Chains A and B, each alone.
Chain A
Amino acid sequence: MKIAITSTGKELTAGHDPRFGRCAYFLIYDTEEDTYKAVENKGQLAGGGAGIGAAQQMTDEGVQVVLTGNLGPNAYNLIKASGIKAYQCKAVSCQEALALYKAGKLLEISQAGPSHAGMS
């Protein structure tokens, strides 16, 4: 299974980025192989629809779980429509976020946050 964590940097030790559409990187962790890779968020500097671009990247990477802060209305609906589960997390590093998820301590995001249009 692939888990994506919204991140401020390219390593697991990097800070977790609570923004989805405008985060700097996605760390994609593969549970079977116990490996991860960092992909740049292409939607980061999009003129509009950053959340849409970011959600598309998740589907394209075959991610099944996303660990992030909030999801805007567009991203929330798309993540849901693509069958991806999103969990809310406030941890300080990506590593901790992952540990919390594995321990079953994160809540699933069950509603969209406010539309930030790039402002979160």
Chain B
Amino acid sequence: MQYLSVVDVARHFGRRKALSQISFSCAAGEMIGLLGPNGAGKSTLLNILATLIAPSKGEVKYGDQGANDGADVRAQIGMLGHDLFLYPELTARENLEFFAHLYGVTDVHSTATRALHTAGLVDRGDDFVAGFSRGMRQRVALERALLHEPKLILLDEPFTGLDQTSTAALVGRLRERQRAGCLIVLATHDLDVADGVLSRAIYLKDGRMVGSDTGSSNLADRYRRAMDRGPRNADSALWGGE
């Protein structure tokens, strides 16, 4: 059963093409990596999957629902943005409780406590997020995104600025969610960490899909091969005759 399907999605901002002809579909329990250099359109694609940006063309299906189903679809999505989506002036607990309220979680207090526990920050719960290290913030931010037990988890560059222990913890938490039947889509350019974690890799270059494979090793080699397949120079392809 395919949970998420992306059908011929394109998005442009004015004249600038951010994405074109993106099509893929994936089932629950997968861990998908969106790989590509900066400016390849990874973040735009994630934001489209999160319904934050509407595609210029094509559509995204979540099971039998579409992005226009509004709150019902948003309730299934948990997103960890590059900027972490946390208020530095609030404590970790306040952040979690605020978003738990927003997500309509029934037992706000115990949900937040559980999230703090999973993040390993029970004793730091009443400290301001502003004083946290990058790794701690990342953990709170991840638990914030998972508060409402979303079916689809989107992560934008989750490994940036993390040390090895934090990275391992993050990977462990994501694996656990994957086993629980969530679909995880993460955008990254950190091939070393992503290697062996992803169940499928989707390669993006200049806003296009230049390949997709399911291998479990040698990600760097596969990445290089996929990038070579892509158009060498985007402009020449654009201006080529019709």
Q: Do A and B form a real pair?
A: no
